Copies of this chain bind each other. A is one copy, B any other.
Amino acid sequence: MTYCVAMRLSSGLVFVSDSRTNAGVDHISTFRKLHVFHQSDERVLVIQSAGNLATTQSIISLLHRRCVDDERENLLNVKSMYDAASLLGDTVREVIARDSGANQGGNTDFSCNLLLGGQIKGEGLRLFHVYPQGNFIEATHDTPYFQIGESKYGKPIIDRVLNFETPLDQAMQCALISMDSTLRSNLSVGLPLDVMTYPTHSFSAAQQHRITETHPYFDMIRKGWGEGLLSIFSQLPPLKLDE
């Protein structure tokens, strides 16, 4: 499995992805699930992927390859993020149709889920969740984040902390803690993490980091959060169930 979360806030975008892929419990590998398409000072598009690795790798490869062909619509020349989401959806359909077409898959699940966030000059920030069917939904003021993969373990903390006005740094902390909760409870999600923040109107893809086991800040907030939880837990009022 996988866990990816993306947030669209007034001050920018936040992306956090794990990098574990597994087929059963034997085939465990590390693959990057955060992909950036960037045109200096004009657009930054970020795609996060969960699901069948053959499908998601093909999608990203085709999208990259087509970026050098200016004759056809591609992620570096589409006019809006909506068009980018639509193009991504088409590519999802194309790859899944190709791979599942020969009916040699048995019960293979070729599907995938993708998050697409970014900004194209002339527009604000936008964030989409593209489904295996190629259709998509967009994050709004009320629902400023999307998750794909093993989303449930890390959802409660986001639901408590995040809103559209949360500053970018705090949102990244929240995403890292959401990821930590998931890492602790589910073996199929694993380090390293690929993380990125995109400040509104920056058109820069510079704020990308890879977080490994030994990353000092991640280690510090994991410990701080864990100890903090135990400390509030120990300060809860004594149990009293009789009303």
Please list the residues of chain A having a beta carbon within 8 angstroms of any beta carbon in chain B: 150, 152-157, 159-161, 169-170, 172-174, 177, 181-182, 184-186, 195, 207, 209, 211, 215-217, 220-221, 224-226, 228-233, 235-243
Give the contacting residue for A230; candidates B160, B181, B185, B186; CB below 8 A: B160
Majority DSSP secondary structure for residues of A touching B = helix
Bound-complex Cα distance A159 to B186 (A): 11
CB distance from A211 to the nearest CB of B (A): 7
A156 to chain B: closest residue by CB: B181
The 6 closest A-B pairs by CB, nearest first: A228-B232, A152-B152, A156-B181, A169-B239, A209-B241, A155-B185
CB distance from A197 to the nearest CB of B (A): 8
Provide 23 A-B residue pairs closer than 8 Å at the C-beta atoms, listed in order of the A residue.
A152-B153, A152-B185, A153-B156, A156-B184, A160-B226, A160-B229, A160-B230, A161-B229, A161-B230, A161-B233, A169-B239, A172-B241, A173-B239, A195-B241, A207-B241, A217-B239, A217-B240, A221-B236, A224-B232, A224-B235, A229-B229, A229-B232, A232-B232
With a cutoff of 8 Å between Cβ atoms, the chain B residues found around residue A152 in the complex are 150, 152-153, 185-186
Q: Is the CB of B217 within 8 A of A237?
A: yes
A157 to chain B: closest residue by CB: B229
Query: Within the oligomer, what is the number of copies of this chain?
Result: 2
With a cutoff of 8 Å between Cβ atoms, the chain B residues found around residue A217 in the complex are 237, 239-241, 243
A211 to chain B: closest residue by CB: B241
Give the interface centre of A154, A182, A215, A239 by most chain B CB atoms within 10 Å. A239
Bound-complex Cα distance A195 to B185 (A): 24
With a cutoff of 8 Å between Cβ atoms, the chain B residues found around residue A207 in the complex are 241
